[in-house]
Amino acid sequence: MTGLHMALHSSPKYSGALNNTAPGGKPPCHPALPYLSAYPAPLREQARQWLQQDKLEPWLLDKHPQPHDLRTDKALYGYVAELRSRYMRNAAQLQKVLYDSKLHVVHNALGLHTRKAQVHGSRINTRHEIRIAALFKQTPEAFLRMIVVHELAHLREPEHDKAFYQLCTHMLPDYHQLEFELRLYLSWSEHAGRSLWQPDQAATAGSGTTTAEQS
Ligand SMILES: [Zn+2]
């Protein structure tokens, strides 16, 4: 299944691929599907047909009807800290967790884990930061979880190797399926030029429940 294993970071595969729209503003009739480039050709062809036949949108909405409501950095930090303490109690503490609106566009990355060594006299402190592309503010919780699990796994495993993906699937058993669905969604979103899930959808979807909003 190594074909499904691919970097979510600054992979050169993404270069130039984010502008998938022709100069006239009309989406190309044969979408390039850069997010799915590591998958087998028959699967890519299937995805292309779903996209052209407008099947992806209802399929995604059926699988993931609602977005999450973790839209602030504070809410995101709490979410990541909870997962870290549940699955990676002995891993390093996180100094910073935030949504980054430049990550996707400028660096072609969906998530980023950084470690910075800071020397204080004879001590060395390592600061760990996790950045999540801001597009994840408007996704279902399953997609956010997938990218967070990916970045958390890097606290222990720097490379995208077997041990890394074992850790991912330990934290999230359907990690690979969700990565595929996320990549289908990104392909759809680029083609359609919009997000599928709207930010206020979570607040209005529940009947009579109030959403605690952090400012
Ligand atoms: Zn990675």
CB-based contact 130:94 (threshold 8 Å): yes
Give 154 Cα–ligand 1 centroid separation in angstroms.
7
What number of other Cβ atoms are within 10 A of residue 138's Cβ? 20
Backbone φ, ψ for residue 205 (5° rounding)? -70, -40
Distance, in Å, from the CA atom of 206 to the CA atom of 68, rounded to the nearest integer, reads 12
For ligand 1, the distance from its centroid to the CA atom of residue 155, given in whole angstroms, is 10
Give CA 11 to chain center in angstroms.
14
Q: How far is the CA of 13 from the centre of ligand 1 (A)?
A: 14
* Angle (deg, nearest 10), helices 162-171 and 141-153: 140
CA of 55 to the centre of ligand 1 (A): 30
Contact 183, 48 (CB under 8 A): no
Q: What is the distance between the alpha carbons of residues 114 and 154, in angstroms, rounded to a whole number?
A: 9
* Domain residue ranges of the chain, discontinuous segments joined by +: 36-201
- Which pLDDT value is given to residue 150? 96
Per-residue pLDDT of the chain in tens (215 residues, 90 and over written 9): 333 333 344 333 333 333 334 444 444 456 678 899 999 999 999 999 999 999 999 999 999 999 999 999 999 999 999 999 999 988 888 999 999 999 987 777 899 999 888 888 888 888 899 999 999 999 999 999 999 999 999 999 999 999 999 999 999 999 999 999 999 999 999 999 999 998 665 455 444 444 444 44
